[in-house]
Chains A and B, each alone.
Chain A
């Protein structure tokens, strides 16, 4: 009986290979190993089939010309070279950067500010926080429908703008206004989301530290700069990295609201890839662009981690 409960780390070494394999398999240690594989196998199989194999396939496809009808033809790095001179692709990179940083930079401050406020004891705090949080649970397509309606030439946004005496904005038909519109709508949906992340970080800061600082005579501002902010650095890193990744690959909102228009002014890279693949059936070009997007996201992330190199999350 005792041999059954031997923990693997306490177990004796497996005997040399001379023994027939089946007997080894029935030893407790091997059985323990086997159960590990058994429990892991189903999810591993799923991830292998639908994540890792597609990842490799994406790279292989990026070296081919493939339109779904004729078999893929190897073209080397032609797709990548082609992208470098494709003005629509280059424009989509610019649009993505504009949208990503236009959305993320305000989010970092708005969400932190909201979290600091909601970390205080306020009258009606729970209800107020709920109101701020609600946009986050709106499904993405519903979010698209709501904002498409708000962006309507006679929609509520323009009514509001005109009520303060400004000219109405062609949110979806002017190439100068379309990205600011997307940024505005993304603030609405994502600032509360990152507020939640910041709140979780703030509540991990030991209250005693702030109290001790108060006793030592630190005022609210000093407590924020010298206690809260330094301890919040891992959370700030998390928010900065995650928000940039999220915004740089977002395209469902664009697909639903503007379809990338007018004239490509809101075609972000994700939408460019989608259109290449499923409207023009250029699977190779789409895959090459997706590889470049992945590379870009990874480089951005590494760069951010380098900036925050002494504040790695646990």
Chain B
């Protein structure tokens, strides 16, 4: 896969001449820096607003940073709706979806890469085809199925349908296919069971792909809005995005509190992103295949 080979942090590839010329065209460079500032303004504005008293939010001239940061906005917002519950739910659901999807995608990828069985190619194509189905097509029938299973307002209703995603199968198959067959056969001669071969031989070779996939699934699940909105109607099961939306539904106009919780909701992704930048970006570059 072309996309997975390119590491973004690789040393600069351009010839020094071009770089020097560009750096020298300082107007262009200045524009690039200004552009970076523009990109950051919305995020900066969110943080700055989250610390303002209400009367400074729309004050003119623009107050870029509050005179006195009001940290209590965070406490007030956190307690306005049960955000402790929402975060716990989001973490439970995201963790469960990530673990289930990575585990089962690995198994399925292993089967498709290293076993021969009747109907394999047809199954692989069918699995890939599910990636094309937009949520608009799936949400009504999936909602009905989940309702039929009595899974509305349950964790399994939030977790299991979300774990059914084929992107990981594709990613794992593409990775496992490069594991040499001789390794597996050597293990078979030594009498290792197939399950042990997967966990002790294949999986240790996969961890960069596993990390990429885990971050990708975590991000998608933490982001999920429509599905949790459809199947939860109780605070006990609501996730963070649904909690944020409640500010709008209940017409809370304390923008400082909305921005405070928005910022907190972003942190679990932002922190992971700063730790695993490379794997994270690869997952995003790989989304191209998912669509």
Contact = CB atoms under 8 A, between A and B. Distances in A.
Interface of A: 1, 4-5, 7-9, 32-40, 42-44, 46-47, 49-55, 57-58, 61, 117, 119-123, 125-126, 128-129, 131-142, 145-150, 152, 154-156, 159, 188, 192-193, 196-197, 199-204, 207, 210-211, 214, 220, 234-235, 238-239, 241-242, 245-246, 249, 251-252, 255-256, 269-270, 273-274, 277-278, 283, 286-287, 289-291, 293-294, 297-298, 313-314
A134 B269 contact: no
Contacts of B236: none
B67 interface: no
Contacts of A120: 12, 14, 18-19, 22
Interface residues of B, number: 106
Closest 7 CB pairs of A and B: A36-B115, A121-B12, A57-B141, A200-B6, A39-B111, A54-B141, A131-B36
A138 B43 CA distance: 9
Contacts of B280: 137
A150 B62 CA distance: 13
A286 B144 CA distance: 13
A44 B108 contact: yes
Q: Is the interface of A mostly helix, strand, loop or mixed?
A: helix
A298 B137 CA distance: 13
Contact of A40 (B45, B123, B284, B285): B123
B245 A141 contact: yes
27 contacts: A33-B116, A33-B117, A42-B108, A50-B138, A50-B142, A51-B138, A54-B137, A55-B138, A57-B144, A117-B32, A121-B14, A122-B32, A123-B29, A128-B33, A131-B37, A136-B284, A137-B219, A149-B258, A159-B62, A193-B287, A200-B8, A238-B288, A251-B136, A273-B139, A290-B137, A293-B134, A298-B132
Given A49-B145, A54-B141, A43 B185 contact: no
B7 interface: yes
Nearest to A211: B15
Contacts of B8: 129, 196, 199-200, 203
Contacts of B88: none
A202 B222 CA distance: 30
Contact of A141 (B62, B120, B225): B225
A5 B132 CA distance: 39
Contacts of A135: 39, 42-43
A8 B116 contact: yes
